[in-house]
Amino acid sequence: MKRSARLTAGIGILLLWLATGRLWAEEKREAPYLIDCELHYLDFNQSGDGMKVLFREMKDAGIRSAWVMGVPLQKVWGEHAPIRPLRYESDAGRVYYYSATDVILARDILSLPPEKRNRLHPFICGFNPTDRNAVEHIRLMLKLYPGFWDGIGEILTRHDILSHLTYGESARADHPALDPVYELAAENNLPVLLHSNITSPREPGFIYLGEVENALRKHPRTRIIWAHAGTSANIERRQHLSGLGQVIGRLLEQYPNLSIMLSWTLTSHYLFDKNGKPAASWLKLIRKHPDRFLVGSDVVGRFAKLGPAISAERLLLENLPPEIAVRVAHSNAERLLSLPRPAVTDIE
Beta bridge partners of 34: 63
Residue 162 confidence (pLDDT) = 83
Closest listed residue to residue 172, CA positions, set 153, 161, 158: 158
Is the confidence at residue 131, as pLDDT, over 70? yes
H helix or E strand, kind and range, residue 75:
strand 73-75
Is the confidence at residue 10, as pLDDT, over 80? no
Contact 265, 298 (CB under 8 A): no
Q: Find the mean pLDDT for residues 9-21.
A: 43
* Residue-wise pLDDT tens digits, 201-219: 888 889 999 999 999 999 9
| Helical segments of 43-83, H only | 51-61
- Domain residue limits, the chain: 1-30, 34-347
Longest dimension (CA), the chain: 96
Closest listed residue to residue 31, CA positions, set 326, 339, 346: 326
Is the confidence at residue 172, as pLDDT, over 50? yes
Q: Which has more pLDDT, 137 or 343?
A: 137
* Residue-wise pLDDT tens digits, 242-294: 899 999 999 999 999 999 999 988 998 999 988 889 999 999 999 999 999 99
* Residue 142 per-residue DSSP state: H
Percent share of the chain, pLDDT over 70: 89
Architecture of domain 34-347: Alpha-Beta Barrel (3.20)
Q: Is the peptide bond before 323 cis (omega within 30 degrees of 0)?
A: no
Looking at every residue in the chain, the average pLDDT score rounds to 89
From 118-132, 154-168, 181-195, 293-307, the region with the lowest mean pLDDT: 154-168
Q: What is d(CA 201, CA 270) in angstroms, rounded to the nearest whole number?
A: 16
pLDDT confidence bin for 165, thresholds 50/70/90: confident
Is the confidence at residue 26, as pLDDT, over 50? no
